[in-house]
Amino acid sequence: MSPLITAGKLINSFAILLQTVVYYVANIALAVAIALVLIRFLADRYNLNPFGRLVYYARRPTEKWFYEIKGSQFYRPIKQALGFEPIWVMLLLAFVILFFLLRGLVDYTTTLLGGVGATLNYFGVGDTLLGGRALLGTVLLGIIYFLMAMMTILVIHSWFGIFDRAGYWAGRRIYPILLSFDPTGRIGPLIFILAFLLLSLVGSAVQRAFFL
């Protein structure tokens, strides 16, 4: 068997394993986060002893989450619009959004690995035409998913205060592009969303054109 085919199969197997592992880890992490928020809610609602072991360990990580949510640009407008304290709803919604954003990053990675594996398999069997097409598709997907990954990291950093270095690095490259289309910054978020959706559609089109 050609070494290229062997390498392609190993990469495909690794992509499947990575997606499976991350799926379970992400679900467990989401469940733990929601459980901590629920414990914190019950402790505040019923004035439970804040020095109890369970309440103490639930409060420690959630303090940062509260700080980030209350410091976000969405907190005050939502609170004024709803007329009640929205922190609990916003926390739960934030974790669900974070879950899907992180899953998206992993999906980009596994799709690219699948493209690399397909490219190696085609070249391994001597099909230069399909191998070249798969290679071109992989490069295009790499560019598209790199831009989408930067935008996703920027959103995660802006909303949740994590990925500081990556968020800063991505912001230095994304914000100038947005300002070139909208110097006032008034419709920057709309341009951001439309650009992300457009990249997603182009990525799907590339997959259909080069790999299906």
What confidence tens digit (pLDDT) does each residue in 105-143 have? 888 899 899 999 999 988 988 888 998 999 999 999 999
Q: pLDDT grade, residue 39 (50/70/90)?
A: confident
pLDDT value of residue 17: 92
Query: For the chain, how big is the Rg over CA atoms in Å?
Result: 22
Q: Give the pLDDT band (50/70/90) at residue 1.
A: low
Q: How many domains does the chain have?
A: 1
Domain that holds residue 107: 3-211
- CA–CA separation, 186 vs 120, rounded Å? 46
C-beta of residue 114 within 8 angstroms of C-beta of residue 15: yes
pLDDT band (50, 70, 90) for residue 186: confident
| This prediction's pTM | 0.77
Per-residue pLDDT, averaged over 83-94, amounts to 78
- Sign of the CA dihedral with 153 first, then 159, 162, and 165 last: positive
Task: Give the residue with greater pLDDT, 96 vs 71.
Answer: 96
Q: What distance in Å separates the CA atoms of residue 157 and residue 194, rounded to the nearest whole number?
A: 19
d(CA 72, CA 69): 5
pLDDT given at position 144: 93
pLDDT, mean of residues 19-26: 88
pLDDT of the residue at 43: 76
Confidence category of residue 146, pLDDT binned at 50, 70, 90: very high
CA distance 139 to 203: 11
